[in-house]
Structure 1
Amino acid sequence: MNPTKKSSWRADKLASLGSSIFAEVNEWKQEALAAGRSIIDLSIGSPDRGPALDIREVLGQEALKEDNYTYPGTTGSVEFREQSAAWMKYRFGVQINPDNEILSLMGSQDGLSHLAQAICNPGDVAIVPNPGYPIYTGALAIAGVTPWYLPLREEHGFVPQLDLIPDEIWAKATFILLSFPGNPIAVKADAAFFEKLIHLAKKWDVLIVHDLAYSEMGFDGYRPMSILQIPEAIDIAVEFHSFSKSFNMAGCRIGFLTGNADVVRSLRDFKSNIDFGIFKPIQKAAVHALREAMSSTGEERGVASLYEHRRDLLIASLAEAGWVVPKPEATMFLWARLPEAFHDATWSSRRFARELLLDTGVAVIPGDAFGSEGEGYVRIALVQEESDLKAAAKRIGDFIRAKTVDLS
């Protein structure tokens, strides 16, 4: 090999993409299977049920039409954008221009992974939460943007403390990315928080990027709000929406960005160079899903009640097993501090998750996969039926009791 060239074809930036924990957990699963364990997978946040039958029927019918196999176009069909705008008005009372304030996406992660490349230059700064969904920082690494981590800590109820952001960071930042309710932590924001955030963002000319992938997964009467509900927020904010969790359409890969027209246009222009949009039948199915959500039976079809019930069942079962976990107010995840017996230097989140899986077959994600502030916690996904959740809680209880004896 030419000594002046690199020894491998791999970009240096890949080392900065964040944790490979999901691949690592898959390796642990194989070890557990080889040891004879049956797996109860509470690791990946992928819905275990499909979309409603009528959504699937629309998808199937549209897939049979020959004229749906041309390039669909990057911006999304007029029908999809108009229906998405109508849903924003119905759900949040927000008036959106479908011509220039909505962009279709191959899932919200598509937009999250590309936005920094569309609106930032290498060397720019972006403010992101810690812990946070891994693509938040992974996208910055790809774009050559420097992250500034805003800690989410238990003593503040995991609510971002905006006053902790130094003026020099506000002055440098291109955007701040937050999520309410979030992943891995279901933090709830109210209008007062959004108003303060918007005031600071306008003062420092910093774009707000709000990830609202879990808008339809609020519990106990809580309905997550859009930042665009705040007057004049559209001047300084954009928001991501997803069909993956709201309609169990994760494999369809569809969502949208809405908000500030200049930002929407920047992402549209970027994506027009790298893809040709979303398969037309999927857009048709998404339009149908939104229409049904706006019908009189829409609330009955929602996913929130399913996950609220699973949340209550698993938390009660874990409490019986000796592990008290706080109730999240939204999403499909529990964010759980390690049981008290494991609060010493020898037990990391990763060690706990690995040994739990190898010993019991129950898979969870260690909190440090979401950032340094996640150490000492694990994320548990509510993505199995009730019988499996009960079985998982029993196995976890047996594990905690056995390790507690070993540690005493």
Structure 2
Amino acid sequence: MISTLNRWKRLLVPCLAAALLLAGCSTAGETDADVEEFLGVQLQSQTTELTAQDALKKAQDFIDAAAPDQFQLSLTSEETQTVGTQQLYMIQLTTQVGGAAYDPSLGVDAASGILYSCYADGTLKPAAEDEHWESITEMASLTPEEQQNLTEANNYASQILEDGTTDFVLTLKTGRYVYADGNAVYVGYGGNVQQTLFHDGNEGVVVDETTLLARDMNFDGYEDILLATSSGGVNSYYYLWLCDPAEGNFVAYPDFEKLASPTPNAETSRISTYERGSASDYTQGVWEWDDTGMLVEVSSYQVASDESGNVTISSTDEAGETTEFTVTSEEYTTVNELMSGALVDYCISRYGGSEQRAFTFEGMKEVTDINCYSVLVTEGGTPTVRLFVDESKTYMVMLDEDCDGTPEETVNINE
């Protein structure tokens, strides 16, 4: 099987998503009948067996819903074939661009009517449950040239997998394909290895779609290559090779493997990092590329606890201003519960829902002679309201909607 990035791992490539770091078809809120109708899959038992043409129509309905205008379908035989323990009508898919045979093909159980994804290695998955089809609509965003490139890369990747060179090959929109071992990353094109990228080791790493990735890390429109340095830890670290389109190769970015769990954000052109130290300790960072092509940390937020259980929170904002304060473990626990529960619900009811909304604890502050938890609410990094939560009556909140430090209104968030 060909695995490729961003969950389209067996498409004419796989991802990036990410907008969606990271896209798929959601069935949230739909009934089982709705989902079955959309996918073109009938899961209930049939009273009579399907004919070959019934099976072809069922497969066509599924593809029309999941991947319109992407494939041509044809029966491999008018008779059922034994696949594992199933008797299936087999339907071959060929791509509209390039006319290449596609993996997986589809199979329809003649008795039950269930539609299966049938992979070249013999794996069967009910198509309605196969995440491969959930992200295939991302192909619509690719140009015909990119689709053709991916088809060609997929064909070469198949050969590499078949000869046992590796168990996973990543394909790129440029037509290149990438695989790795404990010594290096190999970049191929047209059946030949174009570039060998050596690294300092990744002992214990199983190379698959979670450890060998294609991401546009410097936001120049080209896929870069990441390889995990280790496995099994609470934090993830990667080697990074940036695509140099002018030279047509990849260049190692020094010391990128020191950044924990790096996540690119295409909307802000920044990279966020998150390093877990213990159950309660962690460090967050935000990085951006400067004019020389180097990553620079623009803000940070750190939580550290001591032996007594007190928690020190320190942060540096984009202006370079640093703040630090210490609270008790009880105060820290309480405010975190508020920021993940009651305060979230209240802000949604008053200001509407927002995926960009974030809550930041600013410490304990005395406001109008009341000791309060100070919580700053931002949307997309812009301050929108400051909440002063009464320490003794956490349902009483003073609102500072112009974020000048002085509340304009007091509300009972339980009402």
Q: TM-score range by the shorter chain?
A: under 0.3
Higher strand content, 1 or 2 = 2
| Larger Rg belongs to | 2
Q: TM-score, normalization: structure 1?
A: 0.24
**Which gives a bigger RCO, structure 1 or 2 (Cα 8 Å, sep 6+)?**
1
Q: TM-score, normalization: structure 2?
A: 0.24
